[in-house]
Amino acid sequence: MDHTPGRRLSLPFVFRGQRRFAVPLNLAVRQTTLADVLAGNARELASQALPAGLDGHLLCGIVDQGWRTHSVLDDRVMYVVKREVWHYLAWPGGYEAYLEGRFSAKTRESFARDEARFVEAFGGDAGQLDIQSFRSSAEVEAFVRHAAIVSPGYAPGSALRDAAAAGSLHGLVLFAKGAPAAFVCLQAVGDALQYMDGGERDDFRQWSAGTILHLAALRQLFTDGRYRCLDFRPGESEVKRQFANGSLRSATVLQLKRNLFHRLLLGAHALLQRRDEDNTATQAVSEEIQTLLGERA
């Protein structure tokens, strides 16, 4: 479980789709891992004492226990900023066991046909998928160049390079006659893998390039032996829904010390969130939190 004290979050106030102002808060950040959650180690996080000398703490990725969005407790004001689905893939045994437990026989046959069709059209001389692995710091720039061809504008920031420097990067690119068609990027965190990013070129969607590469990556990881789960992290996407075999409800929670200012602040913010019809306010808060977590890295 990650503890980082004394970070500043600018809590944005959005009204009628426009950001009007932001209130700075000094917070301790608590970010859980999937291992923490599945082991039950994060369940009591919401009842921890608030940090001295700070406004409160921000709890990221904790199990949603059905809290009210805005609550005034004995010593704190509690505000659920965001609720999300947290998808993950727990190793059920071997790769074939995973496929049988997750997909129908018809879908598995479709996967096999798609891969054979791709190999026939774009495979290498050996009649196999042309997949290259990128792990080290020396290989990061090449991976980013390939990924940017697949997804124009791809800019992973420092996290990717930090993962490579730490030896925890798993970057894979699927090539079609020398041209990158899809990529996937994972990061090892202990005995778990965290999903960082992935993409496929628009002109290779009809060939199911993204699905082919994700399945190939899982086939490799199941035989690796070092990992026991793939953490897709909170949030929805087609990839997560397709390949995860488990999920839970997670929440991002802001807890501030109980005083008049904090009660008015979070009460007003909760009111604006309820009136947010186009999700602009929630997105603004999410961006601020992602910036804060990125600054921690």
pLDDT at 185: 96
Question: How many helices (H) and strands (E) would you count in the chain?
Answer: 9, 11
What's the pTM?
0.85
| CA angle in degrees (0–180, nearest 5) for 255-259-261 | 90
pLDDT at 212: 97
Q: Which two tokens stand for residue 111?
A: 């996967």
Q: What is the mean pLDDT of residues 30-44?
A: 81
Domains of the chain, residue spans: 2-85+248-296, 94-183+196-223
pLDDT at 164: 94
Using the structure block, give the residue that is written with the tokens 């990013």: 197
Cβ-based burial of 152 (10 A; exposed 0-12, middle 13-18, buried ≥19): exposed
Q: Which two tokens stand for residue 12?
A: 């944005």
pLDDT tens per residue, range 210-241: 999 999 999 998 888 888 899 998 888 999 99
pLDDT tens per residue, range 130-174: 999 999 999 999 999 999 999 998 988 788 999 999 999 999 999
Average pLDDT over the chain, rounded to an integer? 89
Q: What is the per-residue DSSP string for 179-195?
A: EEEEEEEEEEETTEEEE
**66 Rama sector, left if φ>0, alpha if ψ -120 to 50, beta otherwise:** left
With b meaning 16 or more CB within 10 Å and e meaning fewer, what string describes 242-262?
ebbbeeeebbbbbbbbbeeeb
Q: What is the mean pLDDT of residues 274-279?
A: 69
